[in-house]
Amino acid sequence: MSTRPLARAGRRFALAGAIALTATLALAGPAAAHAEVEADKPQALAENVTLSFVSEAESASAGFTELRIVLPDGIAPADVTLGEGPKGWKLTATKDGYTVAGPALKAGVDAEHKIKVRQLPDAKELAFKTVETYSDGEVSRWIELPTGGKEPEQPAPVLELKAAAPGAKPLSPSPTATAAAESATPSTASPTPAAGATGSDASSAASDTAADEDDGMPSGAVAAVIVVVVLVLGGGAWWLVKRRAGSASES
Q: Are 45 and 164 in contact (CB under 8 A)?
A: yes
Tell me if the pTM is above 0.75: no
CATH superfamily of 35-160: Uncharacterised protein YcnI-like PF07987, DUF1775 (2.60.40.2230)
Rounded CA-CA distance 80/51 in Å is 10
pLDDT tens digits, the chain, 251 residues: what are they? 555 554 555 555 444 444 444 444 433 333 453 899 999 999 999 999 999 999 999 999 999 999 999 999 999 999 999 999 999 999 999 999 999 999 999 999 999 999 999 999 999 999 999 999 999 999 999 999 988 888 899 999 999 999 999 999 999 887 665 555 444 444 333 343 443 333 333 333 333 433 343 344 444 444 444 544 445 455 555 545 455 555 544 44
* pLDDT digits 0-9 by tens, 199-227: 333 333 333 433 343 344 444 444 444 54
CA-based diameter of the chain, in Å? 155
**What are the domain boundaries of the chain?**
35-160
Q: Are 180 and 167 in contact (CB under 8 A)?
A: no
Q: Per-residue DSSP letters for 136-172?
A: TS-EEEE-B--BTTBPPSSBPPEEE-BPPPTT--PPP
Nearest to 71 by CA among 51, 42, 56, 85: 51
